[in-house]
């Protein structure tokens, strides 16, 4: 019986991975912001590079939550993580929509971002639900800072991308608050620093590739 549950969980994890990485993203909610407007070429390229990073980041966020949910100790924590992952799937679809509007592609390394993030999420969950929820809270705190930087760097005329990032930012803050309220532990400073370094490698690579 136990082995059957593990098999079902593994199959569900593989299905979520394949859908996240290879299937077109679909949102339950409409993409925020005004209708897309043409941008000057230089601004279009700048916005596209930033939205490629955000698309990769949302894919990684889904993978983190999927990995954490797969190894969560309690059903309540698992449901919290999967609910957050559903929200991130809207973010992923919004970013994908915007990339298409900008005539740009997603990161070529998306399968790597997903796989690496899933492993990191699973490893955090194996340390217990309090650590796993603390990992969520710290991740979302860092994502908030990253989105603040992107909002500052976006071309002023790109109202569509700005509305998407502002909507995402509000919900990332909510995810972090929910994780802390559910008992998330504060992570040691060296772990926070390692998370920042790992995120920097992904964002700087995804900007170009």
Over residues 88-101, the pLDDT tens digits come to: 999 999 999 999 99
pLDDT tens digits along 102-115: 999 999 999 999 99
Whether the predicted pLDDT of 6 surpasses 50: no
> How many whole angstroms separate alpha carbon 125 and alpha carbon 110?
22
For 13-72, write each residue's pLDDT tens digit. 555 665 666 666 778 899 999 999 999 999 999 999 999 999 999 999 999 999 999 999
Name every residue whose Cβ is closer than 8 Å to that of residue 4 and which is 6 or more positions away in sequence: none
For the chain, the distance separating the N- and C-terminal CA atoms, rounded to the nearest angstrom, is: 44
Percent of the chain at pLDDT > 90 equals 78
CA distances from 64 to 99, 167, 197 (A): 22, 20, 16
154 near 84, Cβ under 8 Å?
A: no
Residues 89, 28: Cα–Cα separation, whole Å: 9
pTM of whole model > 0.95? no
The Cα–Cα gap between 17 and 12 comes to: 9
Measured N-to-C along each axis, helices 110-126 and 41-70 cross at an angle, to the nearest 10 degrees, of 30
Q: What is the pLDDT of residue 162?
A: 98
Q: Which of 163, 154, 153, 140 is nearest to 87 (CA)?
A: 140
Max CA separation in the chain (angstroms): 60
- Both tokens of 109, joined, read 């390394």
Mean pLDDT of the chain: 90
At the second CATH level, the architecture of 42-206 is Up-down Bundle (1.20)
Tokens of 189: 């400073």
């Amino acid at each position: 019986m136990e082995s059957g549950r593990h098999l079902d969980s593994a199959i569900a994890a593989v299905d979520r991975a394949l859908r996240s990485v290879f299937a077109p993203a679909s949102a339950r909610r409409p993409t925020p912001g005004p209708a897309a407007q043409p941008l000057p070429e230089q601004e279009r390229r700048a916005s596209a590079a930033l939205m490629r990073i955000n698309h990769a980041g949302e894919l990684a966020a889904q993978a983190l939550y999927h990995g954490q949910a797969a190894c969560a100790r309690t059903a309540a924590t698992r449901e919290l993580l999967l609910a957050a992952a559903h929200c991130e799937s809207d973010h992923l679809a919004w970013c994908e929509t915007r990339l298409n509007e900008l005539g740009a592609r997603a990161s070529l390394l998306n399968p790597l971002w997903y796989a690496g993030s899933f492993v990191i999420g699973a490893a955090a969950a194996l340390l217990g639900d309090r650590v796993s929820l603390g990992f969520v809270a710290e991740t979302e705190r860092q994502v908030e800072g990253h989105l603040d930087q992107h909002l500052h760097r976006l071309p002023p005329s790109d109202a569509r991308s700005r509305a998407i990032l502002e909507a995402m930012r509000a919900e990332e803050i909510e995810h972090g608050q929910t994780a802390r309220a559910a008992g998330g532990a504060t992570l040691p400073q060296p772990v926070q620093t390692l998370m920042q370094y790992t995120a920097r490698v992904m964002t700087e690579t995804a900007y170009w590739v």
